[in-house]
Amino acid sequence: MKVVNDLYYNIKDVRFYKSQFKEAPEKRNILFVDPVMNNFDFYTMIIPFLALGVEEGKHQTAITGMYRYSEINKIPEKYLSEQEVKWADVIVVPMSLEKFNGAGRLFEELRQIKPSIKIIQTVEFDFYEIKNDHYILEFSPEVKKQLTGEKMKEIKDSMIERYEDNCSGADRIIVLNPNLATKLIDKGFSDVKFCPIYIDEETFKENIDFADTLGLKNTHGIVFVSCELIDATKSAFKEYIPIFRKLKQKYKEKFRLVVIGKNPNSLFSNLGFEVDRIQRGSIVNQMKAIVRSSADFHLVLNKKNEYSNNSEAMYTYVERGIFGIPIASIPVTPFKEIIEDRVNGYILKTRNDLPKLITALMKDKTELIEISTKLKNNIVSQFQLDEEKRSHLIEIFFNDFVTMETGTSEIITDENQPIDKVDED
């Protein structure tokens, strides 16, 4: 992950920024706008930026839209310049509630600057299935008190309308959720691409202190279980509390629950047992937290009555799997499809099967170690970025609408003029 840290440090340096935009008429140029350090942007922007920008390739990549510092007064400015747009053949824009489409909006301005530009809109989550606890609906306690069910529906409907409008103005939509891809096509969006999760094992493991752990993984007689506690998983965590409490009472310090994210003691009164807590952070910190947890397996906090076939589920499976940490889940989509019980993870018929698994692992971890090894090997073989997968990324981001004949490139100069920021309605 060090390369990602370096990237976000260097982008603030005007010298690094300018060095991205080189004149190479024989290459096709792709510009990624405003990626942030979350899982989704990492797989749809950062990985493609690194993978498609290899020197021997026929493509050039650049990142823009973040804060950069003037060489003269060191004041940070945020802008998308006209020359950047002229340099690009493809520009990738992240999902936003800002109004991109329509006259005088961002997409229209981009096409006025360069009529041949192709715009890709990434879609981070299924905006048709926004639950009340989704982070996009985070409001202050005062505002929440005023939000009736009818008002909340109006907000969701307005968001859906804005997201759909932005998508309709793009030339291509990229998602990490295959079911959302199908749904968007059914809604009439013609060019929707599913972007698989690709990883680079060495990049994942850079910048991690493997000695910084809560304990020793696979230690005999002690079981470490990790889980993620965020707003969307609070209700599922609550249903596990009686089970966690009994396990703590029976095994005491031999059962270690590692909570990544929110502090359960602040969310639930009279919890009745201790947990090890690790704060949740960026994609880089996420990898550190996974290693630090020392988890024998990762318990997914989900509910049977929730449809959860989404990109977040695949993050959990792949990111734990690269470190050989199996998933334990009740039989819900997508885990019941991607996990074969006791082969590459654990399927719990009910939550009450968790103590049985803990008890078995207390006695013997031989099977767990075999599962861990098979899982890691499977993740590397299935998701590791190689030439074939790099070619697939080229297809996703370029094929069918960008040819070498349309490609143009210009050197970025000091006379860049920023596109004015678009005001929202």
Nearest to 296 by CA among 264, 278, 273, 320: 320
Q: Are residues 273 and 325 in the same domain?
A: yes
Number of domains in the chain: 2
Question: Which residue, 142, 137, 177, 173, is CA-closest to 157?
Answer: 137
| pLDDT of the chain, 425 residues: tens digit per residue | 667 777 777 776 777 877 888 888 888 999 999 888 888 899 999 999 989 987 677 899 999 875 555 555 555 555 678 889 999 999 999 998 888 887 768 899 999 999 999 999 999 888 988 877 777 887 777 787 788 888 889 999 999 999 999 999 999 999 988 888 999 999 999 899 999 999 988 878 888 889 999 988 888 899 999 999 988 788 889 999 999 999 999 999 999 999 999 999 999 988 989 999 999 888 888 899 999 999 999 999 976 544 345 566 788 999 999 999 999 999 987 888 889 999 999 999 999 999 999 999 999 999 999 999 999 999 999 999 999 999 999 999 998 877 544 444 444 444 445 554 444 44
Which residue range forms the structural domain that includes residue 7? 2-198+385-406
- On whether both 229 and 350 belong to a single domain, the answer is yes
Tokens of 209: 């202190």
Model pLDDT, residue 69: 53
Q: What local confidence, expressed as pLDDT, does residue 278 receive? A: 96
Picking from 16, 6, 67, 30, the residue whose alpha carbon sits closest to that of residue 402 is 30
Coil, strand or helix: which one is 89? coil
Q: Establish if 415 belongs to a structural domain.
A: no
Q: Does 363 share its domain with 392?
A: no
Which residue type sits at 308? S
Residue 5 has φ and ψ, to the nearest 5°, of -60, -45
| The predicted structure's pLDDT at residue 308 | 46
Q: In this structure, is residue 420 part of a structural domain?
A: no
- For residue 419, being part of any structural domain is answered with no
Pair (287, 141) in one structural domain? no
Examine the domain organization and report whether 315 and 392 are in the same domain.
no
- Does 399 fall in a domain? yes
- Does some domain include residue 125? yes
Residues 191 and 221 placed together within one structural domain of the fold: no
Residues 267 and 125 in one domain: no
Residue type, 370: E
Is 173 in the same domain as 320? no
What CATH code is carried by the domain that includes residue 167?
3.40.50
C-alpha to C-alpha distance for 376 and 387, rounded to whole angstroms: 20
35 lies in the same domain as 178: yes
418 domain residue, yes or no? no
Domain boundary among 367, 382, 397: 382
Can you give the pLDDT at residue 281?
A: 84
158 and 187 part of one domain: yes
Q: Which long-range contacts (CB under 8 A, 24 or more apart) does 282-286 make?
A: 282/37, 282/38, 283/1, 283/4, 283/37, 283/38, 283/39, 283/42, 284/1, 284/4, 284/5, 284/37, 284/207, 286/39, 286/319
Distance CA(295)–CA(218), nearest Å, equals 8
Q: Per the domain annotation, does 422 fall within a domain?
A: no
Q: Does residue 167 sit in the same domain as residue 108?
A: yes
CB 55 within 8 A of CB 394: no
- Residue 421 inside a domain? The answer is no
Instruction: Please report, for the domain that includes residue 226, its CATH number.
Output: 3.40.50.2000
CA proximity to 319, closest of 348, 283, 351: 283
- Length of the chain, in residues: 425
Residues 282 and 187 reside in one and the same domain: no
